[in-house]
Chain A
Amino acid sequence: MSKPLLGLILGTVLGLFDGLTALFYPYAVPWIMSILIGSTFKGLVAGVLIGVFARKVRSVPWGIVFGFGVGLLFAYLVARMGDPNGQHHYLEIMVPGSIVGMILGFATQKYGKGSKWIGANQS
Chain B
Amino acid sequence: MNWLNDEMVNHLREVSALPDLSGTPYRILRSLASGGMATVYLAEDAKLSRQVALKIMDVLAPSNEMASRMQTEARIIARLEHPGIVPIHDVGSLPDGRVFYVMKYVHGDDLTKYARKEGSLPERLRVFLKVCEAVAFAHAHGVIHRDLKPANIMVGAFGEVLVMDWGVAKILLTGDEGTQLSGDPYFQGEEGKATADETRLQPPGEIPAVPFVETLSGTVLGTPSYMAPEQALGQTSNHNQSTDVYSLGAILYFLLTHRHPHEGASIGQIRERFLRKQVLRPRDVVSNIPRPLEAVCMKSLATDPLDRYSKVEDLEADIEAYLSDLAVSAYRENVLEKAGRWFNRYRFIVLLLFAYMFVRFLVFFLARR
Say whether A and B bind each other. Answer: yes
Give the interface size class of chain A: 10 to 19
Cβ-defined contact, B367 with A99, below 8 A? no
Segment of B36-44, B220-228, B336-344, B345-353 in the binding face:
B345-353
- In the complex, whether A95 has a CB less than 8 A from a CB of chain B is yes
- Residues of chain B within 8 A (CB-CB) of A25 are 364, 367
| Interchain CA distance A103-B346 in the complex, whole Å | 12
Cβ-defined contact, B349 with A106, below 8 A? yes
Cβ-defined contact, B359 with A99, below 8 A? yes
- Main SS class of interface, B: helix
- Residues of chain A within 8 A (CB-CB) of B359 are 95-96, 99
B358 to chain A: closest residue by CB? A99
With known contacts A21-B360, A99-B359, A92–B367 Cβ distance under 8 A? yes
Which residues of A line the B interface, CB within 8 A?
Answer: 21, 24-25, 89, 91-92, 95-96, 99-100, 102-103, 106-107, 110
- In the complex, whether B355 has a CB less than 8 A from a CB of chain A is yes
Identify the interface centre among B355, B363, B364: most chain A CB within 10 Å of its CB.
B363
- Residues of chain A within 8 A (CB-CB) of B355 are 99
How many residue pairs bridge A and B at CB < 8 Å? Answer: 32
Q: Which of B349, B364, B366, B367 contacts A103 (CB 8 A)?
A: B349
- In the complex, whether B331 has a CB less than 8 A from a CB of chain A is no
- Chain B nearest CB, measured from A45 CB (Å): 19
User: Which chain B residues numbered 310 to 369 have a C-beta less than 8 Å away from chain A?
Assistant: 348-349, 352-353, 355-356, 359-360, 363-364, 366-367
B349 to chain A: closest residue by CB? A106
User: Which chain B residues numbered 36 to 55 have a C-beta less than 8 Å away from chain A?
Assistant: none
Cβ-defined contact, B360 with A103, below 8 A? no
- Chain A nearest CB, measured from B350 CB (Å): 10
Give the interface size class of chain B: 10 to 19
With known contacts A96-B359, A99-B359, A106–B367 Cβ distance under 8 A? no
With known contacts A103-B349, A106-B348, A24–B356 Cβ distance under 8 A? no
Cβ-defined contact, A95 with B349, below 8 A? no
Cβ-defined contact, B360 with A91, below 8 A? no
Cβ-defined contact, A96 with B356, below 8 A? yes
- Chain B nearest CB, measured from A59 CB (Å): 14
With known contacts A96-B356, A99-B356, A100-B356, A107–B363 Cβ distance under 8 A? no
- Residues of chain B within 8 A (CB-CB) of A106 are 348-349, 352
- Chain A nearest CB, measured from B63 CB (Å): 53
| Interchain CA distance A40-B348 in the complex, whole Å | 24
- Residues of chain A within 8 A (CB-CB) of B364 are 24-25
Q: Which of A21, A89, A107 contacts B349 (CB 8 A)?
A: A107
B368 to chain A: closest residue by CB? A25
With known contacts A103-B349, A106-B348, A106-B349, A92–B363 Cβ distance under 8 A? yes
